Structure 1
Amino acid sequence: MGKKLDNARNFFRTLKKSEAAPVYFIWGEETMMLDEAVAAIIKHAAPEGTNDFNFDSFHGREANMDSVVSACEMLPMMAKRRVVLMRDSQEVPLSELDRLSSYLDNPSPSTCLIVHAQTAKKKFDGRKAVVKKLKKAGVSCEFASLYENEVAEILDSRAGRRGLRLLPVVSAYLVAAVGTDLATLDQALDKIDLYIGPNESGTKELRVVDEAIVREVVADTKVRSVFELTDAVGERKFEDALHIVANMLRNGESAIGSVAMLARHFRIVARLQDPSVRNLTRNQKASAVRVSPFFLKDYERHARTFGLRDIENIRSQLLRVDRALKSSSLDDKTLLEQLIYDICFREAAA
């Protein structure tokens, strides 16, 4: 199990077992889990429900920190505590957010302040004093974009609640098609559920979702762009890869997501070089690395191009670029172009 999902599970598990904290700071790229965390904290802090007297909500740039602090310092009326929610704090200038600092030194014990930051499109500078103080003032948790193996497990669980059973290749296809964002994947499951319709037998038997169904229902635009990129990089076609990346960024696709898909690609390529996989049949190989047999030949071709030492170096570069995308002042396009250059040229010469 990956650390990211474990962090989220530990947050929800601990929340149920502990008293409501005076401050919660939750942030990250995984929007659906952030929303679920906000709802869970509010329910935990105000189990009797919220009302106009004991609940205040502020949003992003519209939030005035003096008003937020005033709301936090008010006493609850006919309730154990007040709940103050500040959504999208990543949109608040840090100079303005810093006005929370003195309140965080001594937060009201009768108020639960929830500070939410959605960082998929706008990063939050964790080096700033007020951000460090937010993390220390109460309970904090990062809901980062999940790893693919974590998403597959959640997909299977959410599909099961709808009476669906996803074949392994379907989970892999969905992640390739729409990424690892749970909200988008949940919408895809809704579409599949509606497309298949109720179980005609009237039993509770799970309805099987195969590759033909998911291809019919879920648009594969992103699949094409991702596979075009991984194929160009896998063939060390530098100019083609640069062109594809430029188009992906222009179309609003995440640079972090692109790096994640490249990392997935090279994990599969490395897995195909494992002796326990190398001698399997085509369908067995596809099942072992959780890809469609239709795409297997491309991964096998790249497995012949890149040795294990090459792949280890590439994966180190991917990790470095992933961190830089989340913290560096360099723009996403520059970081991705340098990454592609390193894979296409430096690794070839290694």
Structure 2
Amino acid sequence: MKGKKLEGLAGLLDLAGRDLVICLQAEGPVGRGAGRDWKKNLKGISSKVEKLKGIVVECRRPSQREVPAVVRRCLESRGLEATAAAVQQIADFVGEDVGAMEDAAERLLLWLGGPGKVDEEQVERVVRASRFHSVFELTDAVGEGDTRTAVRVLHASFRQGETPLALLGQLARHLRNLVRVGGASRRLGSDPQRLHAELGLHPYVIKKCLAQSRRFGAKRLGQLLDAVARADVDLKSSRLPAEIIMERLVLELAGSSGQNR
């Protein structure tokens, strides 16, 4: 929604009654990359709602640092008590996707047959073996430059019900992890335990990211994150089929590590 339309919406609130629910879905960046008009008008709408004694609820995705705490809340709400390592493992598997966190918690609850304790072995068996496994296959294939496998797993993920935006989010998160691990390894060395203490990522993820970050290089990773951002805009605004947009992106990402097969 453009700035002028937001202005018009803010004006309509003056005429609105009390029994009104408005949902705004952003089709572009809402954080630091958002335009000034968007932020200004959205703030104006919030002020008008509050004057009418309404409530503004922002349903944003958690940041990467917030993910473990959200995962723990999803588990605890179902009576599941997880070790810190198990919580971090789920966070590494599902990323910032709250729906995937809820799904993982439900799977664990069903596996245990009710409330109980959760450890890494159970997470590995229940969560990693679920539909999330295809997502890890995709990020691994991209990181290893295996274009054929990456495209095959992408289409398999679509058949399993994964949405393009969810897959895009996982690819973006994987690239950000490569940037973080690559940068930290240049400062601290390549010891997985030391990097785990610095970054909070699971040692298994760190080992994967170390090798893959070297294949890409810091400069190319920045360019690929830009490509992901462009794909995000295309998915939300282009008339091209989402499958084509994602396939084009995966080919670009996997073809950048220099080890195409």
What range is the shorter-chain TM-score in?
A: 0.5 to 0.7
Is 1:247 matched up with 2:163?
no
User: Is contact 2:143-2:257 (8 Å) kept?
Assistant: no
The root-mean-square deviation of aligned C-alpha atoms, in Å, is 3.8
Partner SS for 1:224 = helix
Residue aligning to 1:188: 104
- Report the AA paired with residue 143 of structure 2: G
Q: What letter corresponds to residue 172 of structure 2 in structure 1? A: A
CA 1:237–1:192: 2 relative to 1, 3 Å: closer
In the alignment, the residues of structure 2 paired with residue 147 and residue 264 of structure 1 have an alpha-carbon distance, to the nearest angstrom, of 11
Structure 2: gaps (5+ residues)? 1-8, 28-40, 50-55
Q: How many residues align?
A: 227
Instruction: Describe the superposition over 1:145-190 as per-residue Cα deviations: whole angstroms up to 9, x where unpaired.
Output: 44433322222345456473541x4334324545544355235335
Q: Which amino acid aligns with 2:249?
A: L
- Structure 2 distance, partners of 1:346, 1:190, is 37
Secondary structure in structure 1 of the residue aligned to 2:20: strand
Matches within 5 A, 1:35-184: 106-108=15-17, 111-116=18-23, 136=45, 139=49, 143-159=59-75, 162=79, 164-167=81-84, 169-178=85-94, 180-184=96-100
Structure 2 CA distance for partners of 1:257 and 1:147, relative to 1, 3 Å: farther
CA apart distance, 1:312? 1.0
Partner residue of 2:211 out of 283, 301, 315: 301
- Structure 1 residues 346 and 211, CA, compared in 2 at 3 Å: closer, same or farther? closer
Question: Which one-letter code corresponds to 2:171 in the other structure?
Answer: L
Greater alpha carbon shift after TM alignment, 311-320 vs 158-167: 158-167
How far apart, CA to CA, are the structure 2 residues paired with 1:220 and 1:267?
24
Larger C-alpha radius of gyration, 1 or 2? Answer: 1
Residues 197, 339 of structure 1: alpha-carbon distance in 2 compared, 3 angstrom cutoff: closer
8 Å CA contact retained: 1:272, 1:285: yes
Cα distance change of structure 1 residues 347 and 313 upon mapping to structure 2, 3 Å threshold: farther
Deviates more, 1:318-327 or 1:281-290: 281-290
Q: 1:186 to 1:246 in 2, by over 3 A?
A: closer
**Aligned-partner Cα distance in 2 for 1:114–1:165:** 37
Distance across 1 between alignment mates of 2:75 and 2:159 = 33
Matched residues, percent identical?
Answer: 25
The one of 282, 285, 302 aligned to 2:195? 285
Measure the CA separation in 1 of the matches of 2:212 and 2:128.
Answer: 26
Q: Distance in 2 between matches of 1:198 and 1:336?
A: 39
Cα 1:144–1:232 change in 2 (3 A) is same
Comparing 294-303 and 278-287, the one that deviates more: 278-287
TM-score by length of 2: 0.68
Segments of 5+ residues of structure 1 without an aligned counterpart are 1-99, 121-131, 200-206
Output the CA distance in 2 between the equivalents of 1:187 and 1:235: 28
Give the deviation of 1:303 after TM superposition: 1.9
Q: Which TM-score applies when normalising by structure 1?
A: 0.53
Give the Cα separation in 1 of the matches to 2:12 and 2:214.
Answer: 59
CA contact (8 A) 1:277 1:288 kept: no
1:258 equivalent to 2:167? Answer yes
- Which structure's residues are more often helix, by fraction? 2
Alpha-carbon shift at residue 284 of structure 1 (Å): 3.0
- Tell me how far 1:219 sits from its aligned partner: 5.2
Deviates more, 1:151-160 or 1:324-333: 151-160
Change (3 A) 1:275 1:291: closer
Output the CA distance in 2 between the equivalents of 1:265 and 1:156: 21
More strand by share: 1
Query: What amino acid maps onto 1:170 in structure 2?
Result: A
